[in-house]
Amino acid sequence: MTFVCGFKCTDGIVICTDSLEADGLTKRAVDKIKFAATVGPTGWAIAVAGAGPGGLLEKFWSDVRAALPMNAPYKQRQFENIVEVVLSHYHKKYPNDPIRIILGLSANHGMERLLYRSEDDYLTPVLDHAHVGVGHSLWRFLSDVLYRKLMSVEDVERLAIFIMKQAIKYVDGVDGPIQVAAYTFGEPLWRGPAAKEIRTIEGEFKHDDLVEVLRKYWRIHNPPTREEQLNKYGGVRTPGDELTLLEGVKLEELYTVAGRRRASKIFRRNTDKLQQRGLLERQRRQGPASGASQPSVGKNRT
């Protein structure tokens, strides 16, 4: 199984993969990003990573590389045709072992920076980001939330490592070490952060910090939990309606003047309960660390 993602940036392209190759019995770490380039006035450089049977992908890359015009002037359509011819051949010859690729192409000193994703036997241009392999739902959520078209190569390298780290933790068949290849405008070749740098960036993304952010978001946007209500009031109340915390208040009586007068007296007698509820609301919104300050009266939630 494989997780491959590609991004277009303001100044280049980034491709990121995991390293796991497994056949159901054994597994090993392999280099999944392949490169080819030529230098000169119309030099070009490509990087390819794919999802599918490992041996078949190696053979596919070998056939593509052998067909590339290593000493000929760069022509975009010629490159696309070469890859699509090989894709079509493999699609017909190995219908039960489909392969999918992400391909990045730079040419003319970075004036042309193109990203493609394969669809069966043809290439589709990608204007923002793309993914092949497992973990589609996780990929879609994280990339849609965090990716922006104005991000630089350096920004996207970090984003790709973060997304891949989550895939390694939560998606079956994906494992490290993480591999990253990047092309930056003006550079002759593809490069990427060294393995040590990737590990350093990975270490900055603490899983516990991510979990705490999600839990805090949940606390802010939800009423107090049953556990919180039991701890504070000794029973479970209807979340968000302070009136239900006051014994003797009947909601239907508030439609009359006499009922409102009666309720106002009950409010005055239950000031402590209202302050407790306000304090709990404040703790829930600001987090546990800031809940020891002066209590305040909570507001109705609708």
Whether the bond between 188 and the residue before it is cis, its omega within 30 degrees of 0, is: no
Name the more confident of 276 and 50: 50
pLDDT at residue 278, rounded to an integer: 67
137-182 pLDDT, tens digit per residue, is 999 999 999 999 899 999 999 999 999 999 999 999 899 999 999 9
pLDDT at residue 26, rounded to an integer: 82
pLDDT of 97 higher than 80: yes
pTM of the complete model: 0.75
CA distance 280 to 112: 57
Q: 3-class SS at 85?
A: helix
CA-angle at 192, arms to 186 and 197, nearest 5°: 130
Contacts 24+ apart (CB under 8 A), 273-281: 273/233, 273/245, 273/246, 274/242, 274/245, 274/246, 274/298, 276/232, 276/233, 277/232, 277/242, 277/245, 280/224, 280/228, 280/232, 281/224
Average pLDDT across the chain, whole number: 84
pLDDT of 59 higher than 60: yes
pLDDT of 17 higher than 80: yes
pLDDT at residue 92, rounded to an integer: 94
The highest-confidence range among 15-24, 33-42, 58-67, 222-231, by mean pLDDT, is 58-67
In this structure, the strands spanning 27-29 and 20-22 are antiparallel
225-254 pLDDT, tens digit per residue, is 777 766 766 655 554 454 455 566 666 666
Q: What is the mean pLDDT of residues 184-205?
A: 92
pLDDT at residue 238, rounded to an integer: 53
pLDDT of 300 higher than 50: no
pLDDT at residue 257, rounded to an integer: 73
pLDDT at residue 260, rounded to an integer: 74
pLDDT of 71 higher than 50: yes
pLDDT of 74 higher than 80: yes
Q: Which tokens sit at 2?
A: 């494989």
pLDDT at residue 21, rounded to an integer: 87
pLDDT at residue 265, rounded to an integer: 76
pLDDT of 292 higher than 60: no
Q: What is the mean pLDDT of residues 35-59?
A: 88
Sheet containing 3-9: order of strands: 129-133, 3-9, 12-17, 179-184
CB 182, CB 198: distance < 8 Å: no
| Confidence tier at 285 by pLDDT (50, 70, 90) | low
